[in-house]
Amino acid sequence: MTATAPTSASMEQTKHIWVITGPAGCGKTSVAEHLHQQLSLPYLEGDTFHTPENVQKMADGQPLTDADRWDWLILLREQSILTLSKPTSTSTTTTSTPSGVIVTCSALKRKYRDVLRIATYHRPDIKVHFVFLQASESALMDRVRGRQNHYMKDYMVHSQFQSLEAPMEDELGNDVLAVDASGNSVDVQNLALSAVSKALKGGR
């Protein structure tokens, strides 16, 4: 009796999209850069994919609407998938495609997270994870006030908390990793790395 050959899907390496989420000031960029360095994965800064119109609205203190966000979320999703398909290279060698990609995106509402989850629909080899950085509104307001030359203003933190739909229990038990972001930058980075490492070891 001959053995059944493995299917192409079973031979594919599982690839991970790690979406670093949370309101302004929670440390998304700091955590993403740390994971990028420690895990040697490519990193997409979500803010750089906003349209000039979106950036101007935020600079003017106008919260983005759902309509403003849809194309941005779809672009982030598609760029994440594309990044997972690109071989990584150095000045002398080209290696295999990356096992994951780090993406920053506030993903404040469940429907926004659902747009990113669509990445798995036709790619069974991909898993999407959300690293949700949570802290109090007052703590994040103080952080944003201390930033220099950033288009996100402190009063927009309140607006983001009004829009925030924190992950529910079914999300937390599935693809959302909750990380306490109330500590200093190094502590938050280490907590996030520990959560991601644990998820990888557990096959989540």
In a domain, 1, yes or no: no
- Please tell me the total count of domains within the chain: 1
Cα separation, 22 vs 104, whole angstroms: 9
Q: Which domain holds residue 160?
A: 12-201
pLDDT digits (tens, 9 = 90+) for 57-68: 877 878 788 999
Alpha-carbon radius of gyration of the chain? 18
pLDDT of residue 44: 97
pLDDT digits (tens, 9 = 90+) for 161-194: 988 999 999 999 899 999 999 999 999 999 999 9
From the list 146, 168, 167, 142, the residue with the least C-alpha distance to 157 is 142
In a domain, 152, yes or no: yes
**Burial state string for 164-178 with b = 16 or more CB within 10 A and e = fewer than 16:** beebeeebeeebbbb
Cα separation, 82 vs 59, whole angstroms: 30
pLDDT of residue 25: 87
In a domain, 4, yes or no: no
In a domain, 151, yes or no: yes
In a domain, 27, yes or no: yes
CATH number at residue 119: 3.40.50.300
In a domain, 46, yes or no: yes
In a domain, 3, yes or no: no
One digit per residue, the tens of pLDDT, for the chain of length 204 reads: 333 333 334 335 899 999 999 998 899 999 999 999 999 999 999 989 999 999 888 778 787 889 999 999 999 999 999 999 988 765 555 568 999 999 999 999 999 999 999 999 989 999 999 999 999 998 888 888 766 555 455 667 888 898 899 999 999 989 999 999 999 999 999 999 999 999 998 866
The sheet with strand 176-180 has its strands ordered as: 43-44, 100-104, 15-21, 126-134, 176-180
Q: Which residues pair with 178 in a beta bridge?
A: 132
